[in-house]
Structures are given as C-alpha cells and as structure tokens.
Amino acid sequence: MSNDFAQFQEAFFEEAAEHLAVVEEGLLELEQHPEDLDLLNKIFRSAHSIKGTTGMFGFNAVAQFTHKIETLLDLLRNGQKKVSPSIADLLLKATDCLKTLIQSTKTGAAIDEETVRRLTGELASSSASDSQTSVVDVKRKVAQSVLVESGGGDQTYVITWTPPEWLFQRGLDPLQTFKELKSIGVLTGITLDMSRLPGLDCIDPEKCYLSWTMQLTTGKDLKVVESIFEFIHEDSTLSIEPVKATGNEEHAQEKAATSGGNETPKQLGQILMEGGLVSPDELDRALGQQKRVGEILVEQKVVTQQQIEQALQKQRQQESVAQAKKTDTTSIRVDTAKIDKLINLVGELVITQSMLSDLGSRFEMRQLPVLLERMVELERNTREIQERVMSIRMLPIGTAFARFPRLVRDLSTKTGKKIQLLLSGEETELDKTVIESIGDPLTHLVRNSADHGLEPPEERLDNNKQEVGTIRLNAFHEGGSICITVEDDGRGLDRDKILAKANKQGLIGENDKPTDDQLWPLIFKPGFSTAEKITDVSGRGVGMDVVKRNLEGLGGTVSIKTTKGKGTTFMLKLPLTLAIIDGMTVRVGTETYIVPLLSILESIQPKAESIKTVVGKGDLINVRSTYIPIVRLYEVFASEPQYTDPKEAILLILETEGQRVAVMVDEILGQQQVVIKSMEQNFHKVEGIAGATILGDGRVGFIVDVRGVLEIARHGSPVTA
C-alpha cells in the first residue's frame, strides 16, 4: 500500500468517526422529535457518506451493512415508515455494529459475525415495503431480462469503466456491478485507477473519483455485458473490447482465476499450514514449483478455492494491521483562522529578529533604550506565538461530552430509572490530549451517578421529587485551569454507610471521627463500594479508583460536595494542557524546583508557637486550628538546604488525594509557566519528579510530583539520581 493511499485511508477513518457521531447524536434526538424531517435528512446524509467512501476503498462488509441502515433511513424520511422506539433502538444498535465493523477494517480485529448477521436481518425485516423498488433491483431485472439470450462459446472482454462523479450521490454501489459481472462469467485482472483523486483536503465523500480496468470471460454476448452498465451509462466512460484469446492466454486466465490473487507464497502457505489445511511436506512441494501456491494446492485438491480466498483475506488483514502500525498517526483539524493568525505572528517575529540583528551589528550604548524596546517586542511576539501554538491543540470539550447522551439513554434502560442529561459549557476548549484522557473518568462518574446517586421513579415520588432524575455535566474555566462538574439530584452520599465500610476495611479506626472532607475521598480507594449488590453498571469498587488514578496522571484533582437527599457534585480540576503548566518556582539550597500551582493552597512563614512535634508523626503546623504534617523537601531529594528550622523557612500548603501537607522550602522565586520535558524519555524515571524544564538562566529545574513526594516522605527513602 502506497503512503498516499494509506493517507487517504486514514482520512477516511477520521471522516467516518465524525459521520458516526452525527448519526448517533441525531438518532438520540430523533427519539424525542420523530417528526423532524431535517434531522432525518442529516442522519441519512452522514450514513450515505460512510457508504460512499467505504465503497470507494473496497470495504465491502462495511458498505453492505451501511446500505441496510441507509435503506431503513430512506424509508423513514420518505414517510413509508414511522420512527418508533423499536426502530430507533435498532438503528442505534446498528450504529454500534457499524463502529465495530469500521474499527475491524482499520485494525484487522475480529468481529462478532453472528451479531452482524442478526442485525442485518432485523434491518432488512424493518425495511420491508411493497412500495419500494431499489435501483439495484431495477438493474437486476434489466440484466436478467437480457440474460435469456445465449452466446456461442466463451469470450474475453477488456472492460475500462470510469463512472460518473454522481455515482455515490444516487446511492449506487460499484461493487454491485462487479458482482453482476461475476454472475455471468469469470472476472479477473481488476485494476483500480486513482488518477482522478484530488488533493487530500479537496476530497468530497459524495463524489466518485475512481476508475477500473478488468477482464471478463463469459459465455454471454456483448449485449448482456453492456446491459449491466445501462443503469449508469449516462456520464460514464465505458469501453468493452472483445479479446481473441490464444491458448496461452486462456491458460493464463484460468491460472489467474484459480490462484486467488498476487499472494506472497510463503505467507499464504504459512496461513494454510497454521489452519491445519496443508502439511509441511505438501507446502514444500508446492513452493518448489514455478507456480503460485494457491493454484498448485487447488490443482492437487489439497484445499478448495474457497479456502484459498479465506486465507488470502486473512493475509490482507495481517498486511493491513502491519501497515496501520507503521503509519498510525493522530491528526487534528485546525480552524484556518488560527493558522492565519500564527503565520502573521511569525512574520512579526521575523521583523523583530531582523531589527535586532541590524541593531546588534552597529550597537552603541546610546541605543540601549532601543535595544530594550526591541527585546520587549520579542518577548511579546514569543508569548503570543506560544499561546497561538497551544490554541491549535485546543478542542471544545463538547467532543468528550458527545458520548454521554447515548450512555445515559442505555443506563436509563438498564437501571429502570428515568434520567435526563443536561450539558453546558461544551464550547470550553481544552488540550486534545487531556480531552482524550478524561473520557474514562467522566464515564465512571456518570455511571456512578445513574446507578448509586439517582433513585428509582417510585422512590423519587415518595420523596416529593420529580420522577425524572437529572445528571448535569458542566465545563468552565477557573484561573489557569478547567473545571468539569458531574452533578446529580439523587440521594447524596450516605455518611453512615461509607463510615461503616471504611471501618470494616480498616481505613478508619472504630473510635475515629473523620470530617466529611476526610471521609468522602475514601470512595476513591480501590475496591471500596457501598453497593448492596453487583450489577453490570457498577458495584465492584473499581470505577472510582480509575477516576482518581487517571486524574492524578493528568496533574488534576477531584473534590466532592454532597447533601443527603438532594444530590452530589463531583468537581474535576484539570490543567488546560499537559505540555505547559503554571508553577511556583522555589529554591532549596542551590537547587530549583517547580511546584504545580494547581496543588498549592497558600504559602506561609510559620511562627514558633504554631509548630508542634508529635512522637511518631514528626513536625506539625497549626493552620487555623488544623494540624498539617511538615515535609522537608531537602530530605526528600537528599540536598543541602539553607534552612533546617521551619521557623526560618517557607511552608507551601499543598493538597492532594484530599490530604494537606506543608512542604518546606528555602525561598519562593516566583510564578511562571514552564514547558514540561519528560524525565523518562530524556533520562529515566525519578520518583517524586513529574518532569523537568529549562529555566531562564539555562539551568534545569525539576517539576515536583506532589503525590510522589508524599509517598517518599511517608516511607523515608530519599531520591537519588
């Protein structure tokens, strides 16, 4: 597969994912507004685009299944069928199946063929209509009416066919034409011509850009062959030329028909041998002859032609997977306005650089104010370019929210609860990498709200609540971070149940009296669940642990607010990007560290009377009647500090995992944005260090992993590089 073709395929998979999202979102809305014809047309267009492009790339299974979906959608939009809950449910299941088929086409993964067959049958049954006659049916009848004519002897034709660009726009599939040609003879030597393809950015999935050349050997005469193309003869470029076959050519055609394709002999033979179809000796004998493996094994009646074709299909899947691994890349669509602004800023930067170069070549001290002015311009341009480049990676968080209407609909069915989902803040932008990483945490929180939080309808009515429960997803900016809230109006967290479970698991002593802020974070512990029974939605105590672990990996935090009988709100606080963070630069001895600003609550210089030493717990500081443990950063990283007495140093009050700690440093140097460089990629993993950056003076500064520092402090093992 050429790089260009692989690039086109990658673009197809991205386009298909977008069209699938439109279909799914539209179907969910269609359930609520079954008479909305514009919505039906929108869904149909996306399904039609998927079918057209899959046909163009030869993804037959996907094209055929999508055609079944498209047929039912066409009946709905033409008024021949009515949108009902059962049809909407069938189309949503078919959309899920279509996603699986496309993913299988991309990766070569196995599919549940029984599910595909069942849904294909259900779609066909739901599409049954006496008043409908498809274009394919008309074409088949025309061809069959001519097939009664007979020809004398086999004839080979070279067919060159360039269909019109409107082929896909009318819902026509060129693969059906090939099938009908095969039904009247042997079709070989099919060559795909992509010379009409425009640039990648100019491809219209509604248009057909392909041409084909092939050979057909048939006992039917020329009129029969021509009749197969009659339905699209308009605007087609079609050439059907008879070829007088010599004996050698006939042998070559027979050979091409039995060989099954241009397989790699050893690879095909290996697949057949692994499948138990041939023995090693039979394979060696076949490979020793100057023929294709497939032809020889069929001639020897070791395997059938069908088994050869199945083995070839498996070979093509393996090659596709290997190619996908080589070319697997991620891409992002960027608004051209962002690119234009970035180009303008680069132009300004070039001008500023030119001015500085000119000034440097003839600099005099009296020109110092001009130099400082140019440096200010350079700083401004650099900062703006940084912001513009980062904005290119920013996507609306609505792309992450899009999965939840379907999820909530399915949860409502499974739990027997009536649930409505309200979304807000979808336009809030977040780094693409962060968006891709928060899907699982948000999914677990929504499932938790649906299963644990919201009550059944009858219980809500008994408590003077509306029968329909509400889950709200909201996103908004706060300072240099983004906040996402998952809120429900359900039962709220049950303090007594959580406390009893924590006592049972030994997380809290029998006589301890934890505050709410200390108790609620325990639900994020692995295996912690207060569910009375396990369901396929939740109850195993693993989901909330995933939430905490994934958020910490992103440098984020999660907090809980709950009122019994009224509901619970989970707030996720995340950095806007993983490439740049806002940090507080601090000094410990001669070393410089950056502490993520997201973890800092405040900084203080303690008084002597506020510090207490407790046996077994070390030094504590009293901050507004709450004692917080003190962690000496110089002990964690085994460095030489300027101060060892907390009264002379600075304490940063940090929060992580619902716990607060006072980290002792010598000096706060200031707040700044820093670019994160991976320690693992450039050196090796260092406990307590999240990454590194280059400081303004050229030195390396280490970015502190707050959670890792606490673990080191608890176990008393300092970091050594």
Asked which of 305, 327, 349 is the last residue of a domain, the reply is 327
- Long-range contacts made by residues 149-152, C-beta under 8 angstroms, separation at least 24? 149/220, 149/221, 149/223, 149/224, 150/219, 150/220, 150/221, 151/218, 151/219, 151/220, 151/221, 151/224
Query: To the nearest whole percent, how much of the chain has pLDDT over 90?
Result: 12
The closest of 85, 80, 51, 89 to 68, measured between CA atoms, is 51
| pLDDT, position 651 | 93
Q: Is 372 contained in some domain?
A: yes
How far apart are alpha carbons 37 and 39 in whole angstroms? 5
Q: What is the mean pLDDT of residues 28-55?
A: 85
The closest of 134, 150, 159, 324 to 224, measured between CA atoms, is 150
Give buried/exposed letters for 557-566 (b at 16+ CB in 10 A, else e): bbbbebeeee
Residues 524, 620 share a domain = no
| pLDDT, position 268 | 63
Residues 640, 612 share a domain = yes
Answer whether 471's CB lies under 8 Å from 422's CB.
yes
Residues 469, 377 share a domain = no
Q: Is 640 contained in some domain?
A: yes
Asked which of 303, 327, 351 is the last residue of a domain, the reply is 327
Residues 75, 27 share a domain = yes
| pLDDT, position 357 | 86
Residues 117, 25 share a domain = yes
Residues 705, 584 share a domain = yes
Q: Is 476 contained in some domain?
A: yes
Q: What is the pLDDT of residues 464-500, one digit of tens each?
A: 999 999 999 999 887 667 889 999 999 999 888 888 8
Q: Which of 162-176, 625-639, 684-698 has the lowest mean pLDDT?
A: 162-176
Q: DSSP secondary-structure letter at 638?
A: T
Q: What is the pLDDT of residues 615-639, one digit of tens each?
A: 877 889 998 888 888 999 998 888 8
Q: What is the mean pLDDT of residues 79-96?
A: 89
Q: Which of 57-71, 225-239, 318-332, 693-707 has the lowest mean pLDDT?
A: 318-332
Q: What is the mean pLDDT of residues 54-62?
A: 76
Biggest alpha carbon–alpha carbon distance for the chain: 111
Name which residue leads in pLDDT, 665 or 290: 665
Please report where in the chains the tokens 């086109």 appear, as a residue: 8
Q: Is 721 contained in some domain?
A: no
Q: Does residue 150 carry a pLDDT above 50?
A: no
Across 117-131, 365-379, 697-711, which has the greatest mean pLDDT? 365-379
Q: What is the mean pLDDT of residues 166-190?
A: 78
Residues 110, 67 share a domain = yes
**Domain CATH number, residue 518:** 3.30.565.10
Non-local (6+) Cβ contacts of 278 within 8 A are 269, 272, 286, 297, 302, 303
| pLDDT, position 641 | 92
Domain that holds residue 219: 137-327
The per-residue pLDDT of the chain, averaged, comes to 79
Residues 650, 520 share a domain = no
| pLDDT, position 355 | 85
CA distances from 461 to 54, 491, 637 (A): 50, 13, 58
| pLDDT, position 457 | 93
Q: Does residue 648 carry a pLDDT above 60?
A: yes
Return the ∠ at Cα 173 (arms to 170 and 175), rounded to 5°. 165
Q: Which strands form 557-563's sheet, in the order they lie side by side? A: 419-424, 469-478, 481-488, 567-575, 557-563
Number of domains forming the structure of the chain: 5
Residue 167 CA, chain-centre distance (Å), reads: 31
| pLDDT, position 298 | 74
CA distances from 476 to 228, 481, 482, 571, 578 (A): 59, 9, 6, 11, 18
- Using 50, 70 and 90 to split pLDDT, how confident is the model at 253? very low
Residues 152, 275 share a domain = yes
| pLDDT, position 170 | 66
Residues 196, 321 share a domain = yes
| pLDDT, position 720 | 55
- Using 50, 70 and 90 to split pLDDT, how confident is the model at 254? very low
Name which residue leads in pLDDT, 192 or 463: 463
Residues 544, 402 share a domain = yes
The closest of 193, 197, 213 to 205, measured between CA atoms, is 197
How far apart are alpha carbons 585 and 582 in whole angstroms? 10
- Using 50, 70 and 90 to split pLDDT, how confident is the model at 455? very high
What is the full DSSP assignment across 196-228?
Answer: T---GGG--TTS---EEEEEEEESS-HHHHHHH
Q: What is the pLDDT of residues 227-244, one digit of tens each?
A: 787 766 556 788 888 876
Give the predicted TM-score (pTM) of the model: 0.55
| pLDDT, position 525 | 81
Residue count (the chain) = 721
Residues 104, 155 share a domain = no
How far apart are alpha carbons 422 and 531 in whole angstroms? 26
| pLDDT, position 586 | 93
Across 522-536, 581-595, 647-661, 687-701, which has the greatest mean pLDDT? 581-595
DSSP SS3 for 160: strand
Give buried/exposed letters for 658-681 (b at 16+ CB in 10 A, else e): bebbbbbbbeebeebbbebeebee
How far apart are alpha carbons 431 and 512 in whole angstroms? 42
Q: Is 720 contained in some domain?
A: no
| pLDDT, position 250 | 43
How far apart are alpha carbons 515 and 427 in whole angstroms? 37
Q: Does residue 266 carry a pLDDT above 60?
A: no
Asked which of 353, 374, 392 is the last residue of a domain, the reply is 392
Answer whether 302's CB lies under 8 Å from 273's CB.
no
Q: Is 185 contained in some domain?
A: yes
Strands 591-596 and 700-704: parallel
| pLDDT, position 135 | 43
Q: Is 500 contained in some domain?
A: yes
Q: What is the mean pLDDT of residues 592-600?
A: 87
Q: Does residue 208 carry a pLDDT above 50?
A: yes
